[in-house]
A = this chain, B = another copy of it.
Amino acid sequence: MPPQPRSPEPQAVTPAPGQDARLLTEAVTRLRRALRASIRTDYPWEQLPMAQVELLQVLAEHSPARIGDLATRQRLATSTVSGLIGQMINAGLVARAVDPADRRASAVSLTDAGRAQLAAWAEAHERRLDAALGALDEEEREVVRAALPALFRLAEQLDETDR
């Protein structure tokens, strides 16, 4: 029965200890749900799973990539990426070729269809998110923007301590 000792600021450098942990987790959960939901709403038609979109984004910048590279970059298990790429090949979004340097590996690259889908998705997604961001005060937007690098660092830290 914790009688929450929270009100007249004792004098700690860091406000609530475990409080941040919970709020942060909750925020991430909510944002993820909200993002997924709005994407579903924006795209009742041709649904493109987020996991696939993210792979397309990586491929858009590092074209022929191997399954393992994609997995590492996205911090996913290779089996996961393998499966996703399989679906994407069926959907014609990417193409797989054998890496001449190492015939075990495959060189995955975007197809024109993949590039087009990615562009369309990004456009709609940005429009939507920008609209939501636009509903915030400039100050709030600024705070969010400022936190992005730290959030990435935090994710890295979690991954790392994990290993």
A129 to B111, CA, bound (A): 40
* Min CB gap A101→B, angstroms: 23
A131 within 8 Å of B by Cβ?
yes
**Docked CA distance A33–B28 (Å):** 10
- Whether A144 sits at the interface, judged by CB under 8 Å, is yes
A interface, how many residues as a size bin?
Answer: 35 or more
Copies assembled: 2
Asked if residues A148 and B21 are in contact (CB atoms below 8 Å), the reply is no
In chain A, positions 117-155 with a C-beta closer than 8 Å to chain B are 122, 125-126, 128-133, 135-136, 138, 140-141, 143-155
B133 near A30: Cβ-Cβ < 8 Å: no
Closest residue on chain B to residue A51 by CB atoms: B29
CA distance A18 to B57 in the complex (A): 14
Asked whether, in the complex, the Cβ of B158 is within 8 Å of the Cβ of A34, the reply is: yes
User: Interface 1/0s, chain A 34-59, versus B by CB < 8 A?
Assistant: 11011001000000001000100100
Interface membership of A90, Cβ < 8 A: no
Asked if B151 and A144 sit within 8 Å, CB to CB, the answer is yes
A132 to B157, Cβ gap below 8 A? yes
Cβ-neighbour of A135 out of B143, B151, B157 (below 8 A): B157
A157 to B35 CA separation, bound complex (whole angstroms) = 10
Contact check, B148 vs A132: say whether CB atoms are below 8 A apart.
no
Q: Is the CB of A34 within 8 A of B126?
A: no
- Chain B residues, CB < 8 A from A146: 143, 146-147
| 9 interchain pairs, CB-CB under 8 A | A14-B138, A21-B126, A25-B129, A28-B31, A33-B155, A133-B154, A135-B157, A136-B153, A140-B153
